[in-house]
Amino acid sequence: MSRGICPRVNSSGFGWIVLTCLFWVNVLDVGAYSCHEVRTAFQLRQIGPLHRVPETPGTDVDLLVCKHQGPSCCTRKMEESYQFAVKRETLQNIRSYSFELKYLISSHADAFQDTFQFLLSFSQGHLSSLLESTYSPLSRRALPHVNQLFSSLSLHLRGANVSVEAAVHRFFDSLFPLVYTRLVNPGMEGGVADGGERSDCLRMTRQDINPFGTHPATMAQELAGALGAGRLLGLALEEGQEVMNATEHFGLSRECVKGLVKMVYCSHCRGLTLIKPCVGYCLNVLRGCLASVSELDQPWRKYTSLLARLTHAVAGDHSLELALLAVRGHVNEALLYAQLHGPLITATVDKVCGLSTGEPTSIQPTSPEVTTSSMTSPTLPPSAPSPQQLLGQLAHLRSSFPLKPSKNDKHNSLRKIARDFLMYLQRYKSFFAALPEMLCEGENVVDDSTCWSGDDVVESYTGRVVGNGLQAQRQNPEVKVRSPNPTLTEIKERLERFIQETQEGFPGLGQSGAWDDLGSGETEEGSTTDCDDEDGCQASGDGKDKTCCCCGSAPEIRIKRERDLPPTIPPAWKETSLPSK
């Protein structure tokens, strides 16, 4: 008996003190066999109606999950409430850990698309300014075709079933009647300008007449390659979001729920509301519950590698930016080509579509000889300038705009977005394999003292700890995994099919890793490349090397829970490696 409860006194008051001590012992005994703490935990965790918790332990309780000898503070109704509560809490914990990964994918999907649209808008304005300033006779009627071209390119980048090659050739088909009547034969109006039969003939025979040389085909090929990678990147990011959505909302099996109740709440039935599960025990339960989720590990690793290669194909060599900036030059060269070869083009059109002063004749396919090579030395009329003079007058149109944006331009470069994305994505390569460990870390479990084993309080867990995946669960002593989750199996097969189809449809991706190319700006000597102030690098001002916030590889990390993040969700990461399996 504690001295604080029964202090030393003289003999005259001994009888009164004995009665007092017996009273306190009775009070303590009543408290030890009450369910007060269980009721408090039941209420604080919002598990269910408080009236389901008895005031005192029962000795004849028919329980299905939390069976044990002796009195219990649990009832069958409480077990039902515990099952609903543990499902809700587990799925919330999974969502809290997957939040940053889902946000990483969705936010960068938006960032990439915004940058793509910015580059398209810039290239469209670039081309429109060329037509307005240099080819003003046709600019007003040509601008709708420019808008249509870039609208088709935008739809392609967003995943629509629109062919880049068809859009480019359709643009030059529509441009040819305008070029023929306003540049090659200035002043020719009538049916050609108004969309008559001659105009239709020019559009339909443009590829046979070949008035623009090889420039349309070259432009189509460059855009198809660069925009194709951007389109696939957008589709791949959408696929990643679908995987994350399925992971957050998959259903827990009945065996899993029983195992979770036994791990989290069965100790409450004995009045042990503060005891925590053993680490090994928790790993067995969560690995059993997430066995189908862990099966996503291998395809997810391949998926992150595919994302890296797609991102590198889009931004590694400024491929998409250069292809879009080159549109202006290709169109300019094509128009110069048509002007230089005007007489031969006119003669060919007269043969195919009829003389300019007569009725249009029937359309006949031109011979293969009417190509670029056969139009290299046309005979120009005396009044026309020579090709050298014409090229000299328009030489300034060949110069390209600078690729790197101004320091005052707040729009992030595509390369910087790609580098940041790959640096963070690399840390999530093993997310699905590490998810059970993340759920069994920190304050949720106990590793170095007495803990809850599911049946009793023990010094340490003695059961066999199994690995991840469906195969390993055959030896799981805590949760029986009877069959894979059909929703996650479908998602796994869909992800594997997407990876295979992407690699088959875009064989140029290769197997070269892009982590070092875009995820790090370090050179062998330790200096940084392509990393200036606008990219997040800061100089100390004392002559020391600049340090880039986005350069250098980073280890895989423990994912922060959603509730730990500030409202703006900056990339604040804990740089500690994931626990080993």
Instruction: Single out the residue in 75, 97, 123 at which a domain terminates.
Output: 75
36 in the same domain as 106? no
Distance CA 48, CA 511 (A): 54
351 in the same domain as 220? yes
196 in the same domain as 154? yes
Instruction: Single out the residue in 366, 399, 432 at which a domain terminates.
Output: 399
Q: What is the pLDDT along the chain (581 residues), one digit of tens a residue?
A: 333 434 444 443 443 333 334 333 333 343 456 899 999 999 998 898 888 888 888 876 788 899 888 889 998 999 999 999 999 999 999 988 888 899 999 999 999 999 999 999 999 999 999 999 999 888 899 999 999 999 999 999 999 999 999 999 999 999 999 998 888 888 765 444 455 677 888 888 888 889 999 999 999 999 998 999 899 999 999 999 999 988 888 889 999 999 999 999 999 999 998 899 999 999 999 999 999 999 999 999 999 999 999 999 888 777 889 999 999 999 999 999 999 998 999 898 888 887 654 333 333 333 333 333 333 333 333 333 443 443 343 333 333 333 344 343 434 588 889 889 998 888 899 999 999 999 998 766 776 678 999 989 998 898 899 999 999 998 999 999 988 989 899 999 999 999 999 988 887 665 544 444 554 433 333 333 344 443 433 333 344 333 333 333 333 444 444 444 433 333 333 333 333 33
Cβ partners under 8 Å of residue 217, min gap 6? none
203 close to 174: Cβ distance less than 8 angstroms: yes
Residue 40 has a CB neighbour count (10 Å cut-off) of 13
346 located within any domain = yes
67 in the same domain as 181? no
329 in the same domain as 217? yes
476 located within any domain = no
168 in the same domain as 69? no
Look at residue 395 in the predicted model and tell me its pLDDT: 38
323 located within any domain = yes
55 located within any domain = yes
192 in the same domain as 110? yes
Distance CA 364, CA 351 (A): 8
221 in the same domain as 129? yes
Instruction: Single out the residue in 372, 399, 426 at which a domain terminates.
Output: 399
Cβ partners under 8 Å of residue 148, min gap 6? 167, 170, 171, 174
CA Rg, the chain, in Å? 37
The backbone torsions φ and ψ at residue 485, rounded to the nearest 5 degrees and listed phi first, read: -70, 120
Distance CA 569, CA 542 (A): 33
Distance CA 95, CA 10 (A): 65
Angle (CA) 212 165 505, round 5°: 145
541 located within any domain = no
206 in the same domain as 135? yes
Cβ partners under 8 Å of residue 454, min gap 6? 262, 263, 266, 277, 281, 478
The three-state DSSP-derived secondary structure of 27-80 is HHHHHHCCCHHHHHHHHHCCCCCHHHCCCCCECCCCCCCCCCCCCECCCHHHHH
132 located within any domain = yes
Look at residue 479 in the predicted model and tell me its pLDDT: 93
- The total of structural domains in the chain comes to 2
Residues of the domain holding 53: 11-75
Q: Which residue has the tokens 């029962």?
A: 58
38 located within any domain = yes
Residue 28 has a CB neighbour count (10 Å cut-off) of 10
96 in the same domain as 70? no
390 in the same domain as 334? yes
212 in the same domain as 114? yes
377 located within any domain = yes
